[in-house]
Amino acid sequence: MSEQTTGADSQITLTIPWAVLGFIAATLWALLRKFEASDVIWVLCACWLGLSLIAMLAQIGPGGRSYLIGTLGKSTFTQIHTNTTRKGLNSLWNRYCDAPPEKPNLPATFHAALTWRLYDAALLIAVVYPILLLVGWWGLGYAGQLGSAVILQPALLWPDRAVTLGGIAVILLSVQGSKGLRLAADSRSRSRCGIF
């Protein structure tokens, strides 16, 4: 009797995610048809559904279920998240923030985190991303607009967009190259001085 119950439970466990995924897929299909979405949106939705299917299949198997139950059941779940994100966060912290305090408390951590380097990067992002959005949209062949104001008129790929985008690429590569050369020169001068 218990074996039959276990089989029925696993059948229910398998059926519910398939039903949810089917409902989401049908809803997405109906919305995309109703609003006449572009092919790009269809492809993105299909990719999302495919990734959802892969995640669902990983969770349905007994090994995946036991791993999730064991991981989420432990009190150290936050440590797992910290360990997986530590490398990226440490590199960001070292690049934009001061060294963390010896005795971490909230005011000292905020003081170490809110530095001029962080504000400089935030201002750079705030200035650059609208320009990149305008030029990127224009580079795809549409008008570069801010609201209803057309900043960049749509242009043909050759020669207008190709020459402009090529010039922007050369400028960006030269800026990156000059940073690399400057870093290499700094490291050579440090090694001559015996700093490193």
Q: What is the pLDDT of residues 56-82, one digit of tens each?
A: 777 776 677 677 677 667 666 666 677
| Rama region for 38: left / alpha / beta (φ>0; ψ in -120 to 50; rest) | beta
- Maximum average pLDDT range among 18-27, 93-102, 118-127, 158-167: 118-127
Q: What is the residue extent of each domain of the chain?
A: 2-112, 117-155, 156-196
Q: What value does the mean pLDDT take over residues 9-26?
A: 72
* % of residues, the chain, pLDDT over 70: 72
Cα-based distances in Å from 151 to 118, 125, 128, 164, 174:
30, 20, 16, 15, 26
pTM above 0.75, yes or no: no
Mean per-residue pLDDT of the chain: 77
